[in-house]
Amino acid sequence: MKKNITINLFGTLYQIDEDAYDLLKNYQDNMRSYYSHIEGGDEVADDVEHRVAELFTELRANGKEAITIEDVEEIIHRIGDPTQMDDSNSDKRDETKASGNAQTAQESEGRQQRRLFRDTEDKIMGGVISGLCHYLGVENILACRLAFAILCYFSFGTSILLYCLCWALVPEALTAEDRLRMYGRPVNPKAINEEVMRGATVAKEFVNKSSSGVASFLGTLVKAVFYIILGFFGLIAGVVLLSLLVAVIVALFAVPFGLLAGFSALGIVSPEVLSVVTGFPQWVLWTFVVAAIVVLTIPLYAIFRVLTHSKKEKNMSSGVRFGLVLTWIVALAVALSSFGYMTAAIEHIGTREYNNWAERGEKTGNFSGRFSNELDKSIEERLRNVDREKVEDVRNAVKDFVLGVGNAVGDVVDDSFDAGIKALDCAKSSVDSIATADESTEKK
C-alpha cells in the first residue's frame, strides 16, 4: 500500500503515488537546472512539464485513477534525459566527452569531490559504515563491518559511542546528486538521471520486499542486538569510563570555583595567592578553565545543531566539522592534564609549600616570602590584628580546606577507577567462564 498525494499541474489536479512524485520531481528539477544555462531553456523545461501533464491526462482518460512510479518511469523514458534531448550543437560535445581524456578528467574530478554521507540504502543500522567505505573507496563493506564489530569489543565500547556520534552528525545521502558525490562519481545531468532512475528501481524492490513490516523490524532489531552484544562486555567498562568522565568533568568545574570561593571567603582571593599556596602556576588554572569550557560547549553546540538543523540549510563543511572535533579532543586533553596537575599540586605540593610558608612565618614572625609585596602587606595587616589563637584557626582552616578539596577530588577519581576495574574484572571472569564452559562441552 502506498501513500498517494494530489498535485496540481497547470490548474488540473492529478492523483499520484508519493514515490512516483519524488521521481518526477527529481527528473524535472534535473531538467530545469540543466536548461537554466541555455538561452530559452526555461521554455523547454516548461514544454516538458506540459507534455507530462498531457500524458497524465491521457492515463486518466484511460481509466487510471492513480499515477504510479512505473507510469512516471515510462514517461521519463519516452521524453528522455536532458543530454539525449539536446539539440545539434551538443552532439559534438557528447563526442568529445566520450573521448578518453575528457571522461577520465570528469571521473577524477568526481573522485576528488567525494563527500562523506551515510548510505541509507545499504544500511544495517544507520548506514555509517557503508557511507564511510564509499568515502574511503573501500569495496568490501562486509569486511569493514566485521572489523568494526571486533573494534567494538577491544575499544571498551568507545567505538559504539563514536558510531552514534557519526550517526547523528554525518548527513544522509538523500538526493541523486548526494549519492553521486558519496560514490565519488562525476556529477553531470546524464549521471543524475541514471541515478534517479536507479533509485526508483531500488525503492520499488524495497517496497516489495518489506511488505511484511514485522519481519523487517525484527531484522533490524536482531542486527542491533548483534552489535550490542558484541560490544557488551566492552560496553560495561565503557559506561564506567563514561561515568568517570562525567565525574571528572563535574569535578573540573567544581574544583576551581570551590577553591576560588573558599579562598575569597578567607580573604585571600587572588589567583596569585592561590597559585602560591598550592604550588602551580596561575596560567594552568586559566588554561584549565578555558579548556573545560570548550569541552562542555562543543558537544552542546553539536547537539543543538543536529536538533535544529533543517534540510534547507547548508551542512557544515567537513573541514569545519573535523576542526571542531579536533579542537574538542585537544581541549579535553588539555583540561584533563591541567586538572591532573592541579589536583596533584593541591594534594602534595600545596601541603608542603603551605607547611614551609607556615614555618617560615612562625620563625620570622613575618608571613611573607613568596608572596608579592602588596599581598605581604595586606596579609600581615590582617594577621596583625588577629590573636595568636585565631591565627592558628585560620591556618588550620586554610590547611583543612586545601587538603580537604584535594582529598575529595582524589577520592572521587580513586573510587571511579576502582569501580571501573571491578567492572572489568567482572566482565573478564564472565568471558572466561563462558570460554571454559565451551571447552568442557567440546571435550565431551
Site residues for other proteins per CB under 8 A? 9-12, 38-40, 43-44, 47-48, 50-51, 53-54, 56-58, 61, 78-82, 84-88, 91
Q: How far is the CB of 31 from other proteins (least distance, A)?
A: 9
Contacts of 180 (CB under 8 A, 6+ apart): 110, 186, 187, 191, 192, 195
Q: How far is the CB of 75 from other proteins (least distance, A)?
A: 9
Q: How far is the CB of 77 from other proteins (least distance, A)?
A: 9
Spatial distance between the Cα atoms of 64 and 264, rounded to a whole number of angstroms: 83
Of residues 82 and 256, the one with the C-beta less far from other proteins: 82
Grid coordinates of 52: 507530462
Q: How far is the CB of 194 from other proteins (least distance, A)?
A: 15
Of residues 78 and 93, the one with the C-beta less far from other proteins: 78
Spatial distance between the Cα atoms of 137 and 139, rounded to a whole number of angstroms: 6
Of residues 44 and 332, the one with the C-beta less far from other proteins: 44
Grid coordinates of 291: 579548556
Helix (H) or strand (E) holding 143: helix 141-154
Q: State the Rg of the chain over Cα.
A: 34
Compute the C-alpha angle 305/306/312, nearest 5°.
Answer: 80
Spatial distance between the Cα atoms of 268 and 399, rounded to a whole number of angstroms: 13
Q: How far is the CB of 69 from other proteins (least distance, A)?
A: 19
Of residues 46 and 362, the one with the C-beta less far from other proteins: 46
- Output the DSSP codes for 82-126: HHHH--HHHHHHHHHHHSHHHHHHHHHHHHHT----B-SSS-SSS
| DSSP 8-state code for residue 63 | T
AA identity, residue 82:
P
Spatial distance between the Cα atoms of 229 and 224, rounded to a whole number of angstroms: 9
Grid coordinates of 226: 548483534
Q: How far is the CB of 172 from other proteins (least distance, A)?
A: 31
Contacts of 266 (CB under 8 A, 6+ apart): 394, 397, 398, 401
Of residues 62 and 310, the one with the C-beta less far from other proteins: 62
In 3D, which of 413, 296, 419 has the Cα closest to residue 346? 413
Of residues 53 and 290, the one with the C-beta less far from other proteins: 53
Residue ranges in 345-387 assigned as alpha helix (H): 350-364, 373-384
Q: How far is the CB of 224 from other proteins (least distance, A)?
A: 46
Q: How far is the CB of 177 from other proteins (least distance, A)?
A: 21
Of residues 49 and 347, the one with the C-beta less far from other proteins: 49
